[in-house]
């Protein structure tokens, strides 16, 4: 799909992957609607990219956001939130919050905006998942589950849209990315390997997935190997995972 001139809605656009994607889309000639909760940062990204800032929470006002942004050619569901620690010690309310932002909100935005794409025979949905949604990560059980749900939702939706010309669905699987995500989840990332990659690298993957109609995009690409190994040989995968972390 051509993205120059396309109207693109990006959630979680105030920092990290969302802000990097806004810059990449702007450079490609897209018209941007940027959504996020941090008004000051969001307006700064909007001023830099020529986009329109819509401050709000996708978990409580998806319909209002969709109404302000429509018609949308490309939806990039990037807003996300994590929590790290033993599941048995997870505070009350955190399960609902993580599922709402990582799974329910993207599904609801897709429900609201997809009919217009089908009618116009032009559109693309991008769901920013995580490698945690492909293999599961200890200490992030609910986050992994929500991202896995997003992956399967995208797969089912892609099957439904096989008869709708011009409308595509992509899932992007980032690994460890140098963003505020880890500080906000409450536990910083302190491993030496794999080293965090810049959010701009994920943004390039998102742009490429749209342009080339890719159903899946792993960033970095080697993450495809553990994801495939888990499906083909789960016993071997879990043995290696216990050794390497």
pLDDT tens digits, 34-69: 999 999 999 999 999 999 999 999 999 999 999 999
Is residue 24 within 8 Å of 76, Cβ to Cβ? no
143 is catalytic: yes
Cβ neighbourhood burial of 5 (10 Å; 0-12, 13-18, 19+): exposed
Q: What is the mean predicted confidence (pLDDT) over 117-128?
A: 98
Neighbour-count burial for 85-116, b at 16+ CB within 10 Å, e otherwise: eeeeeeeeeebeebbbbbbbbbbbbbebbbee
Instruction: With H, G, I as helix, E, B as strand and everything else as coil, classify residue 68.
Output: helix
- Give the pTM: 0.95
State the average pLDDT over residues 20-43: 98
pLDDT category at 125 given cuts 50, 70, 90 is very high
When pLDDT is cut at 50, 70 and 90, the band that residue 244 belongs to is low
CA 143, CA 130: separation in Å to the nearest integer?
A: 9
User: Please, are residues 4 and 26 in contact by the beta-carbon 8 Å criterion?
Assistant: no
Q: What pLDDT band is residue 229 in, cutting at 50, 70 and 90?
A: confident
**Residues contacting 13, CB < 8 A, separation 6+:** 19, 21, 22, 34, 35, 36, 42, 45, 51, 78
∠ CA(1), CA(108), CA(34), 5° rounding?
60
Please check whether residue 27 is in contact with residue 21, taking contact to mean a CB–CB distance below 8 angstroms: no
Tell me if 151 sits within 8 A of 129, measured CB to CB. Answer: yes
Does the pLDDT of residue 192 top 90, yes or no? Answer: no
For residue range 80-96, list pLDDT tens digits in order.
999 999 999 999 999 99
SS3 35: strand
Structure-token pair, residue 50: 């020529």
Indicate if the pLDDT at residue 124 is higher than 90. yes
pLDDT band of 191, cuts 50, 70, 90: confident
CATH of domain 7-244: 3.40.50.720
For the segment 139-149, the average pLDDT, to the nearest whole number, is 97
Whether the predicted pLDDT of 152 surpasses 80: yes
Question: With 80 as the cut, is the pLDDT of residue 242 above it?
Answer: no
pLDDT of residue 24: 98
List Cβ neighbours of 60 (8 Å cut-off, separation of 6 or more).
Answer: none
Q: Which of 83, 127, 143, 218 is catalytic?
A: 143
């Amino acid at each position: 799909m051509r993205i120059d001139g396309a109207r693109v809605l990006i959630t979680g656009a105030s920092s990290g992957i969302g802000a990097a994607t806004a810059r990449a889309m702007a450079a490609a000639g897209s018209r941007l609607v940027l959504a996020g909760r941090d008004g000051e940062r969001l307006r700064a990204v909007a001023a830099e990219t020529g986009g329109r800032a819509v401050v709000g929470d996708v978990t409580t006002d998806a319909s209002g956001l969709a109404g302000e942004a429509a018609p949308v050619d490309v939806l990039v569901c990037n807003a996300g939130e994590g929590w790290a620690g033993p599941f048995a010690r997870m505070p009350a309310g955190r399960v609902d919050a993580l599922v709402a932002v990582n799974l329910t909100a993207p599904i609801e935005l897709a429900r609201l905006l997809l009919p217009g794409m089908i009618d116009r025979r032009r559109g693309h949905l991008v769901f920013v998942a995580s490698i945690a949604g492909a293999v599961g990560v200890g200490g992030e059980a609910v986050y992994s589950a929500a991202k896995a749900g997003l992956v399967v939702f995208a797969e089912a939706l892609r099957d439904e849209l096989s008869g709708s010309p011009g409308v595509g669905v992509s899932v992007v699987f980032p690994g460890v990315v140098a963003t505020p995500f880890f500080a906000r989840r409450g536990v910083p990332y302190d491993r030496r390997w794999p080293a965090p990659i810049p959010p701009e690298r994920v943004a390039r993957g998102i742009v490429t997935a749209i342009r080339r109609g890719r159903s899946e995009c792993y960033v970095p690409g080697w993450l495809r190997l553990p994801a495939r190994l888990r499906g083909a040989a789960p016993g071997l995968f879990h043995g290696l995972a216990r050794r390497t972390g």
